[in-house]
Structure 1
Amino acid sequence: MALVAAALLGATGCSTSYEKLDGEPPAVAQSPEYVIGPGDAVNIFVWRNPELSSNVPVRPDGRITTPLIEDVQASGRTPTELARVMEEKLGTYVKNPVVTVMVTSFQGTYDNQIRVVGQAAEPKIIPYRDGMTLLDVVIAVGGLTDFAAGNRASVVRRVEGEARQFNVRIDDLINGGNIQANVDMMPGDILIIPEAWF
């Protein structure tokens, strides 16, 4: 278990040391603005210039290409920041361009995703959504396998720059209907679901 958490934290650029605590994971302050990430799709609307407007994917390298403008860094920017960059670049070709960027398909940056590993029916990365809870995450991965030890599951979270691991009780939530076990999830969380011991 500790090796899995350490490996995951190393892969995501987090410290490999963590503190294991019981109880509900603490909330982490988060930015209210969405940050574009690879895999997102963005609609670039250029006012009065429909031929320059387009709906484009954000490539794995974090860049986009639109008519007249190639290889603009989109990942890591908010839609408003990207719109200002596009206006600056289009200014070479268009007088006083006005650009609006709308995200039409969401993946987000790795810092804004939740990873689920272990005995989930479909372990995967899930884009974080505001207000997401443990129940939402379990539903998104299709529940647990027959071999899961849901009450020994844990969440690894960055708290004040340190990675910490907290116990969560998925069996109590899903099978026992204990709504108090439904904790809030945060961007960047890793949910680890171990295998039951027989």
Structure 2
Amino acid sequence: MRKLVLILTLLATLPSAVLAKDYAITVGDKLTISVLGEPDYLTEALVRPDGKITLRNFGEVMARGLTPEQLQEELSKKLRELIRNPSVSVMVTQFANSKIFLVGGGVKPTAFDLSMQTTLLHLLTSIEDMSAADLANAALIRDGRDIKKDFTSLYAGDASQDVSLKTGDTIVIPASSSSKGVYVVGAVTTPKMVPYRDGMTILEALLEAGGFNKFASPNNTKVVRRTNNQDEVIKVAGKRLVRDGDLSQNIVLRGGDLVIVDEGFF
């Protein structure tokens, strides 16, 4: 909890223009523009369908397609004729009909309205339950491409890893192995999904599924494990394990493993 408070405190000290420095202004965005030491220049402007904004003392300025930083530079050029070394600030205070999407087995799927400037770290720290999240295999997808993978150091508070979110971004956070179940199927008394525990063995999983049924061929037991998008099959001599106590057959399982007990021929 203390780490979360520290992260949020650090984020609160970052200027909004930095948080959205790579965001391209679009039609319908609401901007707040100010000039340091010049309160008369404080203005709110809506980006019109033609991409322009109308500002007091500035006239019409094209904003669409520019980042807030680029618009600041453009306005500073115009102001130099009136003010010496003007310091202009541009903030996007409301985004136009923008959504970002959070998906994956490690979180509750949600669509967020991007109604204000936000970053990936802001979003991550707003998620109530991250206990099932596999941050190491998480990804930020933009325009069909992974632009950031592995959120571990970011979530730990490394703000240098942070990125601004844009309309249409999808954040994928899969479930961690420890949050997945072990599936025991085939010739067992009660085929079921067994909640995974660290260090769980195949014998424990079989016992929770009621053990082998009368049709089982225990020595034709196998574990199917998905690794790097490929299935690995591990054969287990279940009869040697259960009857003879051969612990070499009592393999340690991983979350998501599939235990299959084949039937024998009678």
Which TM-score applies when normalising by structure 1?
0.47
Larger radius of gyration: 2
